[in-house]
A and B are shown apart, each in its own frame.
Chain A
Amino acid sequence: MYEFLKYEVRDAMTADPIAIGPDTRLREVEELFESHDFNGVPVVDDRRHLLGILTKFDLLKAFSLDAHALVPHYDTIMEQPAAAVMTRDPVSVEPRLPLSRLLQKLVEMRTKSLPVVENDRLVGIIAREDVLKALRRATIQHEIPIHEDSPS
Chain B
Amino acid sequence: MTTLLYTHPACLEHDTGFGHPECPARLTAILNTLRTAPFAALEWRDVPQATVEQLTRIHPQGYVERIFARIPRRGNVALDGDTILSPQSGEAALRAAGAVCAAVDAIVQREASNAFCAIRPPGHHAEPTQAMGFCLFANAAIGAAHARAVHGLERVAVIDFDVHHGNGTQAALEHDPGYLYISTHQAYIYPGTGRRDERGIGNVVNIPLLAGSGSTDLRHVWRHEIEPALRDFQPRLILISAGFDAHHMDPLAELNFSEDDYAWLTQQILAVAAECCEGRVVSVLEGGYSLPALAASVAAHVKALMEAPRAAQRSLIKGILERQKTRRNAAGS
Contacts and interface: CB of A to CB of B under 8 A. Distances in A.
Interface of A: 65-71, 73, 76
15 contacts: A65-B189, A65-B253, A65-B254, A66-B192, A67-B188, A67-B189, A67-B191, A67-B192, A68-B192, A69-B190, A70-B82, A70-B134, A70-B191, A71-B82, A73-B81
Contact of A65 (B81, B133, B134, B190): B190
B88 to A, nearest CB: 21
Given A65-B189, A65-B190, A76-B81, A70 B133 contact: yes
B81 A67 contact: no
A81 B215 CA distance: 40
A72 to B, nearest CB: 10
Nearest to A76: B81
B81 A69 contact: yes
Nearest to A75: B81
Contacts of A76: 81
Nearest to B245: A70
B10 interface: no
Contacts of A65: 189-190, 252-254
Given A65-B190, A70-B164, 13 more contacts: A65-B189, A65-B254, A66-B190, A66-B192, A67-B188, A67-B190, A67-B191, A68-B190, A69-B82, A70-B133, A71-B21, A71-B82, A73-B81
User: A-B pairs with the 7 shortest C-beta distances?
Assistant: A67-B192, A65-B189, A70-B190, A70-B82, A70-B133, A71-B82, A73-B81
A32 B315 CA distance: 69
B241 to A, nearest CB: 15
Contacts, number: 32
A48 to B, nearest CB: 36
Contact of B252 (A68, A71, A73): A71
A69 B254 CA distance: 15
Contacts of B254: 65
Interface string B131-149: 0011000000000000000
A67 B254 CA distance: 14
A66 B21 CA distance: 17
A75 to B, nearest CB: 10
Interface in B169-193: 188-192
A67 B192 CA distance: 4
A117 B254 CA distance: 39
A68 B164 CA distance: 12
Nearest to B164: A70
Contact of B188 (A66, A69, A73): A66
Contacts of B133: 70
A66 to B, nearest CB: 6
Contacts of A69: 81-82, 190
B192 A70 contact: no
Contacts of B188: 66-67
A119 to B, nearest CB: 40
Contact of A66 (B81, B82, B134, B189): B189
Nearest to A67: B192
